[in-house]
Structure 1
Amino acid sequence: MTKANRWAWIISLVAITGAVLVLAFLLSIATNNRAFYERHYVWLFWVNVAVAGFLVLVIGIAALRLLLRVQRRKFGSRLLLKLAAIFALVGVIPGVLIYTVSYQFVARSIESWFDVKVEGALDAGLNLGRTTIDAQVSDLATKTRAAAERLGERSAGGRLDVQPLALERLREQLSAQDVAIVGASGQIISAVGSSAATLMPERPPLALLRNARNARVASQLEGLEDDAAAGSARIRALAFIPSSGFELVPQDRFLLVTQLLPATLTANALAVQSAYREYQQRALGRQGLRKMYIGTLTLTLILAVFGALLLAVTLSNQLARPLLLLAEGVRQVAQGDLSAKPVFASRDELGGLTRSFADMTGQLSEARALVQKSVAQVESARSNLQTILDNLTAGVIVFDREGRIDTVNPGATRILRLPLSAWRGRRLDEVPGLEAFAARVLQRFELHASSPEAGERDQWQDSFELQTAPDRDTLTLLVRGAAMPHDARLMVFDDITEVVSAQRSAAWSEVARRLAHEIKNPLTPIQLSAERLRQKLEPKLEGADQAMLVRAVGTIVTQVQAMKMLVNEFRDYARLPAAQLKPLDLNALVHEVLGLYAQAQESGRLQADCASDLPAIVGDETQLRQVIHNLVQNGLDAVAERQDGKVRVSTEVARTEQGEPRLVRLHVIDNGPGFADKVLKRAFEPYVTTKSKGTGLGLAVVKKIADEHGARVRIANLPGPRIEGALTDPAPRGAQVSLSFSKFAPAESASDTPAAAATAVEARAH
């Protein structure tokens, strides 16, 4: 056994001895064995003093050794001293604090035990118990006397009815344990009750019998002695039974009623009596009790403080060794040395701590290697991604959460013809020439986040026209936007200027070709045939018939010429002139166009719901009038076969958080069958229609005019009311066409527009 182990065993035995003595003190107090404590208090006190002296000696030796190590400047001695001081403070300061509080608490608590209020409360409790029991005794005496008088009144010819059945009824009425008829000398004449099944009830005492003969009724309480059981207390009442008949030799009879007290009431009464007597006894030995408790508390404090000091010195030595080993290992790790570290050979938690530290160091070494490998892979992936971005024909711009340009690829620079890489870390609206474009893109991002259009989920797509400089051509960009993690935003765009131009040319070329093929080509044969008929038949007819032939042929030729002119104008519409954008009131324009459909409005098939606070937009009044007319006519055609068909034209404004207008929307909604799938996919191409007589140019013209105004056109099918219990939904879905305008007229010029003036005139007329 080493020296350290021997000291550990000695200290353990001393601590165990002190703990056993303290526990003996506490046990004697806990079991309320004051006699044992008083008999052995003196020698227990001196044994504790001896143990405390031995602990002081051991503490002094340990402290001396620690000071010598500090003077010799041994490695870890300062740490040992600090740990010892910490443990000592942790043990001594709380102990002294608890002792001070406990001393005051014990001293004042013992005094509070014998307070006048406590004594008064015990007296009141005792009096309350006595009053309650006396009330029950008096009540039973009263009931017994009344019962005895009733028995006397029912006696016939001086003979008392002592039948068991009658007594049993009387016992139930009185809720008694036993009821008996007692003779003049106290003998039991007849009895019923719980005691009657085995033996007769106990005869009443002579004193009770004598009091009943004198006062006509007497009662007494039995079973509340100190050694009585909790459920054996009872009340016995004896009442004189008067005789209503004439007897030669009168015989006294008494009614004896026995009633048990409730067990709870008996137990509480005995407890109050016992507590009152014990209180009186302890009040006499108050000083001795106070001395006993404070002495025990003081001895416990001495043992606890000395034990804490001794354990502080011992534990600090045991804790310092592995901690010093850990300190050296941490110093090496801080310098970047992640080699294998030594382990403290013990099975306790400190030894496990050194083993865990060694394992952690090994894991850190492996993790550093993995991190270096991951960094290399990330750099490689970043290089590959940058290569892909550099070779993309589309432009890519990534904005951070503050809206600043974070990443730009060469495709964006090529399409926009601006050195965007030099503007990294700046906002897009700070780039010269892109102010308006940046505002519209930001507005589109915010609109998608707050109120996305139908069909828009993870990303949005829209086309924009951009002119970066006055001397440059206008670009048509197809822009796609999406939200990224950490509130970043991604914008990918392509230059579709040539594609749009080619599509428009091809579409209107197709229109002109079909018109020439379907309409214009048959017109010439029709005209020639009519003129030939006139040449052949005119000489053969006379008078009115000849005039009618000339008039009819002239009409045919005139109308054919008009149709040729109309076809030529429709073909020339492919070269639609540029929109003349001016401030206008969209609500007034809607009311003007709907005025052409007065019959539909009167029948309720056409309704208008225009927002009152709609700001003025910038547009071509003639072209927008044609747009509204086409959309309303398409809606009325879609609901023509429905009796409850309705078309609703509405306007609304979407505003920013600051209340500024962001978008003005025009909706045309009907409850017809909705758009077919092929129309939804190719709605804005010529000759795409579901009408038997339509040309399919309506939505194509609407899209062209919307593009001229920088507006967005969206079509969608709306779900109708569902039928509960049906496998399919036969209700019409309905259709919606929406135009969103983002160009607004200046506030000062909004009131000068012709549409605004018309609105003002209409308001004055109403």
Structure 2
Amino acid sequence: MAGRGIRLSLLTRWSALLATLLTLGILIALALTRLFPGQPVLVLAICLLAVIPLATITIRAQLEHILSLFRALTGTVTSYKDGDFSFSLHWAQNDELSDLVAAHNELGRVLREQRLGLVQRELLLDTMVQNTPVAMLLVSEGGHIVYANIAARQLLNQGRKLEGNRLNDLLDQSAPVLREALARGGDGLFTVDSSDTPEGEGEDVYHLARSSFNLNGRKHELLLLRQLTQELRRQEVQTWKKVIRVISHELNNSLAPLTSLAHSGAELVRRGQTERLPQILATIEERTRHLESFILGYARFAKLPSPRLEQHDWKAFIARLADQVAFTLTGDLPDEAACFDGAQMEQALLNLLKNAHESGSPSDGVSLDVQRVQGMLRIAVQDRGPGMSDTVLANALVPFYSTKRSGTGLGLALAREIAEAHGGRIMLANRDGGGLAVTMILPVLTAC
């Protein structure tokens, strides 16, 4: 805290003090010279005996205050180092040291506010972590649990404390599927049978996510277990509702004309006017085939069998594909044969290539590229259409989602289902210069 009054710098005050002491010494010397004329040595001795103790006492008194301030500064800095920012200092003089004390006190105030903010944020974060429905476990390299929230304690130890326990010991008392999910490594879904518990409803679906990082120089792993049962059930209901709406709409669009055509045919037969019957029957056949194709499309998606893996030569496979749909092959095909279900992969690529043509892309802008990169197969279908908006990109792989007026929303969803059945994934991205790229990433299997 700065002192009150006129500001005097340290240099000014010490200069004034030394000047005062020097003046006092000169006056004492002049007085002694008159008392002891002709004896300079005696005058000098008496003068030194009088001035030196007085100067020592005066300077020591001044320095004692400064040294006391330095000791206080050392103590508060040590307290800051220990995390205690509650101290402040006072200096009565209005000089450079008062500025130092003011800056020091301001630093303490800022540190106190920062500490209070950190404590409040830590409290908020801990409250959020503890009350989140996601079970969180922080496990050390040795397998001991370092941190666990309420959801994790309820899931693994009936609400009791988990810190300090070994994760493997707790897993021995848990559901086998949980142990298997953790043993497999990586992220994934698993299902726990909860029918034996009082609140169980048959099966609970969990998503396991894990990540490793270094904490205080040691490797730790964060495990997140999220129950998805309710969300999946809600999503399942919404999906079924959408399926029913789509099927009902398609059935109504097909059955209404069929009913009208059948009635018209019956009237013509009754009147004996049979010349239009072939046209009516052809229309009925066309609508029936469309309806059959529509229903079979849903059936294929709902009942996709497990892939029957076989070795396929890329040149022969691409040639069969080219006989059914037009595209430009970019790059060289891999020399090694690939292991996949030929029928399913052909269906997936036909859907993707058909979508590329229907996007509005020029025919010569639809291309297929097959590469083997870092132990993975990369199959890309590209076009030069308008691409997709962010909203469409986010929903394009969702079953039954379609922006086409007559689309079923199954083409991309079926391609994704086939890719995932082969242990891969599918990605969508807009291309530079316009167009869309749909890429299937599949693992390279050494044997079928």
The equivalent residue for 2:149 is 409
Alignment of 1:524-603 (within 5 A): 524-538=259-273, 551-570=278-297, 572=299, 576-577=302-303, 579-585=305-311, 588=313, 592=317, 595-598=320-323
Whole-Å separation in 2 of the counterparts to 1:610 and 1:469: 46
Is the 2:331–2:369 Cα contact (8 Å) retained in structure 1? yes
Q: 1:392-438: per-residue Cα shift (whole Å, max 9, x none)?
A: 1233344668998643334356679999947966589x885346644
Distance 1:423 1:555, change over 3 A: farther
- Structure 1 equivalent of residue 328 of structure 2: 605
Pairwise CA distance, 1:689: 4.0
1:498 Cα offset (Å): 2.0
8 Å contact kept, 2:134–2:151: yes
Equivalence map 1:26-105=2 (5 Å): none
CA distance change for structure 1 residues 699 and 590 in 2, over 3 Å: closer, same or farther?
farther
Distance in structure 1 (CA, Å) of the matches to 2:336 and 2:164: 39
| Alpha-carbon displacement from aligned partner over 1:720-740 (angstroms, at most 9, x marks no partner) | 3xxxxxxxxxxx2x2122334
Spell out, residue by residue over 1:475-498, the C-alpha distance to the aligned partner (whole angstroms, 9 max, x if none): 263859797987866565451432
Closer, same or farther: CA 491–616 of 1 in aligned 2, 3 Å: farther
Is the Cα contact below 8 Å between 1:611 and 1:653 reproduced in 2?
A: no
Matched with 2:74 is 360
Helix, strand or coil for the counterpart of 1:580?
A: coil
TM-score by length of 1: 0.37
Distance 1:550 1:717, change over 3 A: closer
Deviation of 1:717 after TM superposition, in Å, equals 0.7
Equivalent position to 1:697, from 404, 410, 420: 410
The reply on whether 1:394 has 2:134 as its aligned counterpart is yes
2:328 counterpart letter in structure 1: R
> After superposition, where does 1:398-437 map in structure 2 within 5 Å?
398=138, 406-412=146-152, 421=162, 426=167, 433-434=177-178, 437=181
What is the alpha-carbon distance in structure 2 between the residues aligned to residue 499 and residue 651 of structure 1?
40
Corresponding residue SS for 1:739: strand
- 1:540-578 CA distances to partner (integer Å, 9 max, x unpaired)? xxxxxx6x656545544544544454454445557x125
Q: Tell me, which stretches of 5 or more residues in structure 2 are unaligned?
A: 1-58, 87-111, 196-201
Distance 2:167 2:431 in 1: 42
CA contact (8 A) 1:478 1:494 kept: no
CA distance in 1, matches of 2:440, 2:180: 20
SS at match of 1:512: helix
Q: Secondary structure at the match of 2:177?
A: coil
Q: Deviations over 1:195-244 (max 9, x none)?
A: xxxxxxxxxxxxxxxxxxxxxxxxxxxxxxxxxxxxxxxxxxxxxxxxxx
Q: Distance in 2 between matches of 1:380 and 1:407?
A: 20
The reply on whether 1:736 has 2:431 as its aligned counterpart is no
Amino acid at match of 1:605: T
SS of 1:475's equivalent in the other structure is strand
Report if aligned partners of 2:313, 2:336 keep a CA contact under 8 Å in 1: no
Query: Is 1:676–2:389 an aligned residue pair?
Result: yes
Aligned AA (2:207) = L
Amino acid at match of 1:502: V
Identify the residue that residue 23 of structure 2 maps to in structure 1: none
Letter of the structure 1 residue corresponding to residue 382 of structure 2: I
Sequence identity, in percent? 20
CA drift at 1:391? 1.9
Distance in 1 between residues matched to 2:244 and 2:288, nearest whole Å: 22
Pair 1:518 & 2:232 matched? no
- Secondary structure, counterpart of 1:370 in structure 2: coil
Q: 1:477 aligns with which of 189, 207, 210?
A: 207
Cα pair distance change 1:648/1:535, threshold 3 Å: same
Contact 1:590 1:628 in 2 (8 A): no
Which structure would you say has the larger Rg? 1
Contact in 2 for aligned 1:610/1:651 (Cα 8 Å):
yes
| Partner residue in 2 for 1:502 | 237
Q: Which of residues 374, 377, 380 in structure 2 aligns to 1:667? A: 380
- Alignment correspondent of 2:12: none
1:107 aligned partner:
none
Instruction: State the distance in 1 between where 2:153 and 2:300 align.
Output: 37
CA 437–512 in structure 1, closer or farther in 2 if over 3 Å, else same? same
Give the aligned residue type for 1:717: N
1:507–1:686 CA contact under 8 A, matched in 2 = no
How many angstroms apart in 2 are the aligned matches of 1:527 and 1:715? 45
Contact 2:138 2:147 survives alignment (8 Å):
yes
Question: In structure 1, what is the Cα distance between the partners aligned to 2:282 and 2:179?
Answer: 60
Contact persistence 2:190–2:207 (CA under 8 A): yes
Change (3 A) 1:564 1:645: closer
Return the letter of the residue paired with 2:369: V
Partners of 2:283 and 2:322 lie apart in 1 by: 31
- In structure 1, C-alpha distance between the alignment counterparts of 2:299 and 2:248, rounded to whole Å: 12
Deviations for 1:567-595, whole angstroms, at most 9, x for unmatched residues?
54445557x1253244445x658953652
The code of the aligned residue for 2:84 comes to L
Q: How many residues align?
A: 349
The whole-number CA distance in structure 2 between the counterparts of 1:654 and 1:435 is 31
Q: Deviations over 1:146-202 (max 9, x none)?
A: xxxxxxxxxxxxxxxxxxxxxxxxxxxxxxxxxxxxxxxxxxxxxxxxxxxxxxxxx
AA matched with 1:701: L
TM-score scaled by structure 2?
A: 0.58
> Residue in 2 aligned with 1:647?
367
Letter in 1 for 2:321: L
1:340-381: per-residue Cα shift (whole Å, max 9, x none)?
xxxx94999x99888634531354357657269899997776
- Given the superposition, is the C-alpha separation of residues 380 and 600 from structure 1 closer, same or farther in structure 2, using an over 3 Å criterion? closer
Whole-Å Cα distance in 2 between the matches of residues 578 and 417 of structure 1?
A: 40
- The 1:501–1:416 alpha-carbon spacing in structure 2 relative to 1, beyond 3 Å, is farther
- RMSD, aligned CA: 5.1
- How far does residue 630 in structure 1 lie from its aligned partner after superposition? 0.8
User: Which digits, 9 at most, give the CA deviation of each residue in 1:113-172, with x for residues without a partner?
Assistant: xxxxxxxxxxxxxxxxxxxxxxxxxxxxxxxxxxxxxxxxxxxxxxxxxxxxxxxxxxxx
SS at 1:737's partner residue?
strand
